[in-house]
Chain A
Amino acid sequence: MKLSAKHLLGIKHLTPGDIQLILSTAAQFKEVLQRPVKKVPSLRDITIVNLFYENSTRTRISFELAEKRLSADVLNFTASASSAAKGETLLDTVNNILSMKVDMVVMRHSASGAPHFLAQHIPAAIINAGDGINEHPTQALLDAFSMQEKFGKLEGLKVAIIGDIMHSRVALSNMYLLRKMGAEVTVVGPPTLIPPYLAEALDVRVEYNLVRALKWCDVANVLRIQLERQNQPLFSSLREYNLAYGIKQSTLQRLDKEIVIMHPGPINRGVELDSDVADGPHSIILQQVENGVAVRMAALYLLAGREVEG
């Protein structure tokens, strides 16, 4: 058994079987991470470059740790400190790196589709670590892993994705994944932050009222307002956003049930999530980060383990 795709460019290209395979392999890696020696020799002969054309804390550290736990050799590339600042093209940069015998590329880029473009031109396996407003597949996989761990299954689970749906690659990957695995999805946010025709295109429900969505859901996946991607005013102020869509302890107390709070990070405290909720007992935000390493180990392992040609 192996993945149907050669690259992990997005959840859109994965089958439910692929997703299940990654999640079940991640569960075994999570056990590895509890051992006295948290390292296995699986990718000893593999070199991986982390190409980060956009800022990142969690994803980059998580990928680097996952690669090191698998015994791979790791190269780190940060665009701001490289020849990209001197005008080198993406393809030139990558081809130069690959000529030094690198096997896999983990890439984050602010342009949507950058890893898809690269996949057409280079032989190495590519993992998308976030491209513009398109997809962030490993985040969706670790969100799904965390939900499965908490609830035992994904099928039939009611998930509300709250916030900047239009600019969030996490939202898009999550919607693809949850629908493929049989979960129900409602997206919540101000009308200006939800793309038109989303409900029809992805078979999700759209809700503009936060409390109604929270009353419906089992899990609330709260997203950050991506001010860096908004080049026009889409709501009046962060304070007003917080009043309408920010999740507060008082909001949760008014619900007649308990829901799980997730957030992909980084959190803007006091905007989409108040501190007492983010640090509260229903939040699994730090478990998400912990599971991220195991899920990324699974993705790297399954892509590197493909059969060599010839």
Chain B
Amino acid sequence: MDSSVPGSVLPNQLRNSGGDCVCLRETNYFYQNFQLKTILTAQQVSLTCKRLAHQVLENHPGLDNTVIIGLQPRGIFFSNRIVDVLRQLTGQGVTYGQLDITFYRDDVRKSLHIANTTNIPFGIENKKVILVDDVLYTGRTIRAALDALLDFGRPAGVSLCVLIDRRFSRELPIQPDYTGKVIDTIVSQRVKVAWTENEGSDEVILLDN
């Protein structure tokens, strides 16, 4: 019930958006078993991306020594948008890579995950790295990402930018530096971030069963 945290919202306070998430309901039968609530609309996602890009620029003026690294697979959609905004704001190129953490996971023997492409065509030695992912939940993905990242060199610093922070669900002591929206959820709920490239529209949805 911590309403003092800016941007925080409790599930029961979420409005039921009704027809807003039609695209998911129509395209994927899986989602018909859930109650869907919109957390962020397309317009809000766009505004949030712009805000986060500005916040990154506040701390990394000029982005001279800064690199952006999106996490495969679904963090890439978000990091693409952040990088687009950063390019518009700075009017210059942004050093941008994609990292896949499949081989660094701690649950290889429990379930098999299919690897995605890693593309980091630059050194990260002494750079300020901003890791970008869509949802921060248990923190295990970020733990693996830190391990993977350090195999590419010794960065001057690493910070974390996420669109959604599922607060109180952490299993490791990892916190974001740039947060789109903080939400309080329970384990049985799911958060789905839909992107135009994949699902047809930008939207963040809470799934309740």
On A, residues with C-beta under 8 Å from B are: 1-2, 21, 24-25, 28-29, 31-32, 35-37, 39-43, 45-46, 70, 301-302, 304-308
Partner of B108, one of A1, A24, A39, A305: A305
8 more contacts with CB within 8 A, not counting A2-B112, A40-B151, A46-B109, are: A28-B103, A29-B103, A32-B118, A36-B153, A43-B108, A305-B109, A305-B112, A308-B110
Contact A42-B151, Cβ < 8 Å, known A28-B100, A28-B115: no
B148 to A, closest residue via Cβ: A40
Question: Which residues does chain A contribute within 8 Å of B103, judged by CB atoms?
Answer: 28-29, 32, 40-42, 70, 301
Interface residues of B in 33-84 (CB under 8 A from A): none
Q: Which residues of A contact B100 (CB under 8 A)?
A: 28
Given the contacts A35-B151, A36-B151, A306 and B117 also touching, CB distance less than 8 Å: no
Assembly CA distance A37 to B110 (angstroms): 26
Q: Which residues of chain B come closer than 8 Å to A31, judged between CB atoms?
A: 117-118
**Given A25, A43, A70, A304, which contacts B115 in the complex, CB threshold below 8 Å?**
A25
The answer on a CB contact under 8 Å between A307 and B110 is yes
Chain A residue numbers with a CB within 8 Å of B105 are 42
On whether the beta carbons of A39 and B112 are closer than 8 Å, the reply is no
Contact partner of A37 (CB less than 8 A), chosen from B116, B118, B152, is B152
Residue of B nearest to A42 (CB): B103
Nearest A residue to B116, CB-CB: A28
Known: A35-B151, A45-B109, A304-B109. A40 touches B118 (CB 8 A): no
Chain B residues 149-180 with CB under 8 Å of chain A are: 151-153
B196 interface hit (Cβ, 8 Å): no
B residues in contact with A2, CB < 8 Å? 112
- Name the residue of chain A whose CB is nearest to the CB of B114: A1
Interface residues of B in 85-144 (CB under 8 A from A): 100, 102-105, 108-118
- A46: chain B residues at CB < 8 Å are 109
Report the separation of the CA atoms of residues A298 and B54 in the bound assembly, to the nearest whole angstrom: 41
Contact A41/B104 with A35-B152, A304-B109, A308-B110 known, Cβ cut-off 8 Å? yes
A37 touches B151 (CB 8 A): yes
Interface on chain B toward A: helix, strand, loop, or mixed SS?
A: loop
Is B152 within 8 A of A28, CB to CB? no
Cβ-closest chain A residue relative to B125: A36
Establish whether residues B117 and A1, one from each chain, have CB atoms under 8 Å apart when the complex forms. no
Name A's interface SS.
Answer: loop
**With A28-B100, A32-B103, A301-B103 in contact, is A42–B108 under 8 Å at CB?**
yes
In Å, the complex CA distance between A82 and B144 comes to 40
Q: Is B20 an interface residue (CB 8 A)?
A: no
| B199 sits at the interface (CB 8 A) | no
| Cβ-neighbour of B151 out of A39, A43, A301, A304 (below 8 A) | A39
Q: How far in angstroms is the closest Cβ of chain B from A289?
A: 22
User: Closest Cβ of chain B: how far from A48's Cβ, in Å?
Assistant: 14
For the complex formed, measure the closest distance between the CB of B191 and the CB atoms of chain A, giving whole angstroms: 23
Tell me if A25 and B114 are in contact (CB < 8 A).
Answer: yes
Docked pose: A310 CA to B113 CA in angstroms: 20
Q: Which residue of B lies closest to A44 (CB)?
A: B108
A-B contact pairs, 30 of them (CB 8 A): A2-B112, A21-B114, A24-B115, A28-B102, A28-B115, A28-B118, A29-B103, A32-B103, A35-B152, A36-B151, A36-B152, A37-B152, A39-B151, A40-B104, A40-B151, A41-B104, A42-B103, A42-B105, A42-B108, A43-B108, A46-B109, A70-B103, A301-B103, A305-B108, A305-B109, A305-B112, A307-B109, A307-B110, A308-B109, A308-B110
Contacts of A25 in B (CB 8 A): 114-115
Q: Are A1 and B116 touching (Cβ within 8 A)?
A: no
Interchain CB contact (< 8 A) of A302 among B104, B112, B116, B152: B112
Give the most central of A24, A40, A43, A307: most B CB within 10 Å: A40
Contacts of A37 in B (CB 8 A): 151-152
Contacts of A45 in B (CB 8 A): 109
